[in-house]
Amino acid sequence: MPNRPAFPCLTSGPRVAVLAYDGLCTFEFGVAFEVFGLPRPEAGPGWYRYAACAAEPSPLRAAGGLTVAVEGGLDLVAEADLVVVPGWRGIDAPVPPALVRALVDAHARGARLMSLCSGLAVLAATGLLDGRRATTHWRYADAIRARYPAIALDSRVLYVGEGRILTAAGSAAGIDLCLHVVRGDFGPDLANAVARRLVVPPHREGGQAQFIEAPVLRGHEAARLGPAIEAMRANLREDRPLAAMARLAGMSLRTFQRRFAAATGLPPGEWIVAERLRLARELLERPGRVSLAEVAEASGFRSPAGLRHHFRTRLGTSPAAYRRSFSGSRA
């Protein structure tokens, strides 16, 4: 490993070490640099001191056909106040023991650890997340739960700050988490200034639930449950008794409920709400002015109040905010 440079000494702010490794996810690495690595004269001399550090010998392959040579090594982690773990090379890929030890030691002496997207797999391997709340991209949630059941994984949110361990969901949620850190370290005005330079909102409403695809039928149950599900989906305005749906599927009510949940991943009542939300989101995403009352009626929520309630409880946002984010409408 070449001799590594010290953290920049022109400032006195928190030292941020961003990991690099073979298979590096360049988007998340770039997010960390954009927020913590670029000069911010408006912040004064106390802004972050940034350094990249290689967890493995350089040169390293990175996403996008790049090869990266990194001057700093894991010894920088021992000096850092914040260690950022970008997306990992594979959700089931083993984490080198030297990297695990470096992160455990950094946390023990008081450093903050942050993962972006699949970088959670690296923090999970340290055991430091056991019994703690964390998040990652919803695509990786099942794999993480299966491998690390002691982690209280919440795949609905954009990021989680659990003491000195912070985790972000998908790639863009890394921006949200980095801005959250800036907000805590330097206050909202400077966080807003960084967001303006990035041309992103300083705080996004909602969680990952807005972006997760609708559940679909699995396997052999499709033939029997399909007609009942299509009938439910065809007219979401109508409240259909579960007993009638069970008869349509040729099952007892108890068997229908059990097999429906096994096939779709949700109980029937939850599935109906999810489908109504899917339809409401589609209507809100369309160009043109459709009132919330019309959206609520068409999707089976009866009233704007009911629509708002389910958006808040299930998606963590409001219908109006969702419309602004996804349709470009200011209504």
Mean pLDDT lowest for which of 113-122, 215-224, 255-264? 215-224
| Tokens read off for 181 | 């850190």
Could you read off the pLDDT of 45-72 as tens digits, one per residue? 899 999 999 999 888 999 888 999 998 9
pLDDT at 206: 59
- pTM above 0.85? no
| Tokens read off for 238 | 């109508």
For the chain, the structural domain boundaries read 15-209, 219-327
**Second-level CATH architecture of 15-209:** 3-Layer(aba) Sandwich (3.40)
Mean pLDDT lowest for which of 9-18, 27-36, 67-76, 114-123? 9-18
What's the sign of the alpha-carbon dihedral 300, 304, 306, 312? Answer: positive
Collect all residues with Cβ–Cβ distance below 8 Å to 44 and sequence separation of at least 6.
none
Instruction: Decide if pLDDT at 3 tops 50.
Output: no
pLDDT at 210: 55
CA distances from 42 to 45, 131, 178, 196, 221 (A): 9, 40, 18, 13, 60
pLDDT at 327: 55
pLDDT at 10: 44
**Second-level CATH architecture of 219-327:** Orthogonal Bundle (1.10)
Instruction: Decide if pLDDT at 209 tops 70.
Output: no
Could you read off the pLDDT of 163-192 as tens digits, one per residue? 899 999 988 899 989 998 998 898 888 888
